[in-house]
Structure 1
Amino acid sequence: MTRRVVVTGMSGITALGNDWQTIKTRMQAGETGIVRMSEWDGKYDLRTRLAAPVQGFSLKGQFNRKQLRSMGRVAQMAVAATDDALEMAGLRDDTAMFEGGRLGIAYGSSFGSTPPVLGFTRLMEHGDSNAITATSYIQMMSHTAAVNIGVLYGISGRIIPTSTACTSGSMGIGYAYEAIKFGKQDVMIAGGAEELCPTMVAVFDTLFATSVSNDAPDATPRPYDANRDGLVIGEGAGTLILEDYEHAKARGAKMYGEIVGFATNSDGAHVTQPAADKMGRALQQSLDDAGLSSNDIDIVNGHGTATDHGDLAESKATRTVFDRAVPIHTLKGHFGHSLGACGAVEAWLGLEMMHEGHFVPTANLKNVDPECADLDYIMGSERVMTAEHMMSNNFAFGGINTSLIFKRI
């Protein structure tokens, strides 16, 4: 017997704000979080000068120095998003739940914080360990977000760290959903986070996959657009509180949506070149898990990185599975590609839009690339529609594919 899984809390940290009302207002005003990083000039040998940073973020005053010392920026953003999501769920101070073993964490990032790496580099190059502290590894390890969340709240349930690049956040949500669905946990903290670092940018810059529209930050990235010239790296965090339906109902919790389907697979073919057929297989498996047909999906939140190979493969996979021009949009025109955070942030904001029945257009999409498959791309203005089911898809280096399906409650 399987259990229903509902969302009882959600929050995030983004380049456009840290609460839905602020983010919605700014998106509706046509704003994006993309800026020109003038501080990179003359410092980093990068083609791009664009990013989507989170401005003015700090946890000082909210937690004490001892609590923060093991957290780099990525863990701090994960904790901030989680604290607000727990508050929304009415679980912020439920120590009995935290310590009882039935609440766990599935949370990911591509990497931990990068500044501590410098200390280890200095050791390797010069034999000097003076820059390494007792918390250097804790801050840089790939499971730093999950571990710091767990230690801060005294959580004794299972920990599932997901470090799968651009699917880290969506995979965290998916594995949390499965943990509850199959009775292993009653509540899960799920999501992903990533901090902005030139090293992350360099990964894509060396592949000529970044946007170089450096003097036009308001007009890039351009997902699915014929004139797109690459992605823009962002940062942030997103957290969902997932809960067994009966458990949530018994405590009178408000429910913001239900997860009804999840699938993940791998291409097994190429590290950086996506395979449309395996992408499509993940989408179909998610539908199968939900017991739905493609006609039941009202809108797709696409990955939409604004890269040539990625956009084409994704759109073709989507068209093959749906066999119709399903409505689709992506939020990466607004927030850039926040890597390990994107799937969680997109799930959170997608649920908010489902609740209100207003879906923002893909920012900067003006002329759909004729090579992209025939889909109903939301562009120009927001789409007012009632969506009972939303599919949210993410794809990562290594050919890792994820697909989540949410139901409106």
Structure 2
Amino acid sequence: MGVISPLGCGVAELWNGLLTGRSGLSRMKDLELVKGLRPRIAGRVPEIKTKAIPRKARRTMSNLSIFAALAALEAIDQAGLDEATLTGGRTGLSIGSTTGSSQALEQFFKLYLPENSLSAIRGTEFFKIMNHSAAANLAQFLELSGRVIAASAACSTGCQNIGLAAEAIAAGKQEVMLCGGTDELHPLTVGTFDIIDAASISDESDYTTASRPFDATRDGIVCSEGAGILVLENYNHAKARGAKMLAEITGFSSLCDSSNMASPSADAIARCMKEALKDAGISEADIDYVNAHATGTLQGDASEAQAIASLLGETPPVSSLKGHLGHTMAASGAIETIATVRMIQENTIIPTANLINPADECSAINNVLHLQERPITYALKNNFALGGINTSLVLRRS
């Protein structure tokens, strides 16, 4: 597993930050420069070592591709994958972002629009803007020759790419898959949620408490950035090379909620989770922990809590990591899955940061308010996106 997040670079930084309750959020000066934009708080990745990626490869990479590449290098190193395994055709990739680089797109139009001219546009800019930029750049950088998937489903992207990678391996198409999601922070992303009244505009005096999933005072999403990359591998292939197995993906579901473009349906969420449990071959009673999508929006958190309560009852502990991290968009499903694997390994459940007073509409679930030491055999991971793209994963202790 590999991570670049607002809590730092690497899985250890992510885990230590979550364990100690550290916030990855801060007040962003550049958001104040945008007229009409109300949010001022976001989660930005701290300084990274970009020179770990050769300059030739970086020429076509925006921040989101750089984040993905650094996370992939950590994951590959931890997995002990050698060059022959990576480049031999049996290793593929399934990674996406919400869009191509917003920073590169802004730069493109700054140069193009004043004179209606392409003369100042570099030939490398398109490779940063194209929707499969992260997947293509990472595949080229690692010299992969297996299949490349670049699923893009906004907030469900990371989770969906993990599930698709698992299915590719289960179908025998690849032995190994690098998978996950990545995104970079840009005022346009924040503005998108502000325009639809889904962004947090409160707590400017204390930015660490701006993101409050399931809480009665929650007022919306706090946008962030980062990348999460996992190495998935066929069991027999991993066993044969003596790989250390961290967890197993046993179930995956990705369904469409066609009832509304922006407001999630509790029934559709429950159906998605139920299908993931069916795919895993387990019952509702087997789930020991739920890592919720819970972004801090009024409707989204309420619908997810209602769905979890209706399907799983009040028994399994439920928490969201967006109080610590903010919403890392396409990266969220992968970063949060990695954190969930660590919870399984450490028999420790991370609470929902800033959840002081659970809202009435979110109180029918077993909200985790404090760090818990508790064994987890099966965990359920949820991610849901605008457009009704719902995803759920089931993870099992290896």
Fold match, TM over 0.5?
A: yes
Does residue 319 (structure 1) correspond to residue 298 (structure 2)? The answer is no
**Conserved in 2, the CA contact under 8 Å of 1:104 and 1:158?**
yes
Does residue 20 (structure 1) correspond to residue 11 (structure 2)? The answer is yes
The CA deviation string for residues 365-409 of structure 1, in whole angstroms up to 9 with x for no partner, is: 010000125111001x20110000110000000000000010011
- The offset of 1:149, in angstroms, is 1.0
CA distance 1:119–1:225, shift in 2 (3 Å): closer
**Conserved in 1, the CA contact under 8 Å of 2:3 and 2:14?**
no
Range that drifts further, 237-246 or 203-212: 203-212
2:109 aligned to which of 110, 115, 121:
121
**Conserved in 1, the CA contact under 8 Å of 2:92 and 2:147?**
yes
Query: What corresponds to 1:107 in structure 2?
Result: 95
Query: What corresponds to 2:210 in structure 1?
Result: 220
1:15-54 residue pairs with structure 2 within 5 A?
Answer: 15-54=6-45
Task: Give the whole-Å Cα distance in 2 for the aligned partners of 1:20 and 1:339.
Answer: 18
The CA deviation string for residues 292-321 of structure 1, in whole angstroms up to 9 with x for no partner, is: 001101000000100001001111111111
Task: Give the whole-Å Cα distance in 2 for the aligned partners of 1:249 and 1:285.
Answer: 29
1:181 aligned to which of 162, 170, 177:
170
- The offset of 1:323, in angstroms, is 3.1
Does residue 387 (structure 1) correspond to residue 376 (structure 2)? The answer is yes
**Conserved in 2, the CA contact under 8 Å of 1:354 and 1:386?**
yes
Task: Give the whole-Å Cα distance in 2 for the aligned partners of 1:82 and 1:385.
Answer: 30
1:96-245 residue pairs with structure 2 within 5 A?
Answer: 96-122=84-110, 123=112, 126-213=115-202, 214-245=204-235
Range that drifts further, 317-326 or 298-307: 317-326
Question: What SS is found at the alignment partner of 2:103?
Answer: coil
Does residue 258 (structure 1) correspond to residue 234 (structure 2)? The answer is no
1:375 aligned to which of 335, 352, 365:
365
Query: What corresponds to 1:85 in structure 2?
Result: 75
Does residue 290 (structure 1) correspond to residue 280 (structure 2)? The answer is yes
Task: Give the whole-Å Cα distance in 1 for the aligned partners of 2:304 and 2:60.
Answer: 38
- The offset of 1:124, in angstroms, is 5.5
Task: Give the whole-Å Cα distance in 2 for the aligned partners of 1:363 and 1:185.
Answer: 38
**Conserved in 2, the CA contact under 8 Å of 1:116 and 1:132?**
no
- The offset of 1:97, in angstroms, is 2.0
Task: Give the whole-Å Cα distance in 2 for the aligned partners of 1:27 and 1:372.
Answer: 22
**Conserved in 2, the CA contact under 8 Å of 1:119 and 1:132?**
no
Query: What corresponds to 1:7 in structure 2?
Result: none
Task: Give the whole-Å Cα distance in 2 for the aligned partners of 1:19 and 1:120.
Answer: 31
**Conserved in 1, the CA contact under 8 Å of 2:15 and 2:339?**
no
Q: What are the ranges of 5 or more consecutive residues in structure 2 without an aligned counterpart?
A: none
- The offset of 1:276, in angstroms, is 1.3
TM value normalised by structure 2: 0.96
Give the aligned residue type for 1:113: S
Q: What are the ranges of 5 or more consecutive residues in structure 1 without an aligned counterpart?
A: 1-9
Question: What SS is found at the alignment partner of 1:199?
Answer: helix
Question: What SS is found at the alignment partner of 1:404?
Answer: strand
Question: What SS is found at the alignment partner of 1:342?
Answer: helix
Give the aligned residue type for 1:322: L
The CA deviation string for residues 85-129 of structure 1, in whole angstroms up to 9 with x for no partner, is: 0001111xx232223221100111101211221354353564211
Query: What corresponds to 1:67 in structure 2?
Result: 57
Give the aligned residue type for 2:175: D
CA distance 1:273–1:54, shift in 2 (3 Å): same
- The offset of 1:131, in angstroms, is 3.7
- The offset of 1:324, in angstroms, is 3.4
Question: What SS is found at the alignment partner of 2:352?
Answer: coil
Task: Give the whole-Å Cα distance in 2 for the aligned partners of 1:131 and 1:357.
Answer: 55
CA distance 1:131–1:311, shift in 2 (3 Å): farther
- The offset of 1:20, in angstroms, is 3.4
Task: Give the whole-Å Cα distance in 2 for the aligned partners of 1:99 and 1:207.
Answer: 44
- The offset of 1:19, in angstroms, is 2.7
Task: Give the whole-Å Cα distance in 2 for the aligned partners of 1:19 and 1:323.
Answer: 35
CA distance 1:125–1:276, shift in 2 (3 Å): farther
- The offset of 1:44, in angstroms, is 4.2
Task: Give the whole-Å Cα distance in 2 for the aligned partners of 1:253 and 1:58.
Answer: 27
1:267 aligned to which of 253, 257, 261:
257
TM value normalised by structure 1: 0.94
**Conserved in 2, the CA contact under 8 Å of 1:312 and 1:373?**
no
- The offset of 1:65, in angstroms, is 1.4
Give the aligned residue type for 2:312: F
The CA deviation string for residues 231-254 of structure 1, in whole angstroms up to 9 with x for no partner, is: 100000001100000000000111
Taking only the aligned residue pairs, the percentage that are identical comes to: 40
**Conserved in 2, the CA contact under 8 Å of 1:392 and 1:404?**
yes
Question: What SS is found at the alignment partner of 1:41?
Answer: helix
- The offset of 1:43, in angstroms, is 3.9
Question: What SS is found at the alignment partner of 1:133?
Answer: coil
Give the aligned residue type for 2:5: T
- The offset of 1:278, in angstroms, is 1.0
CA distance 1:58–1:19, shift in 2 (3 Å): closer
Task: Give the whole-Å Cα distance in 2 for the aligned partners of 1:368 and 1:116.
Answer: 40
Give the aligned residue type for 2:143: G
- The offset of 1:181, in angstroms, is 0.8
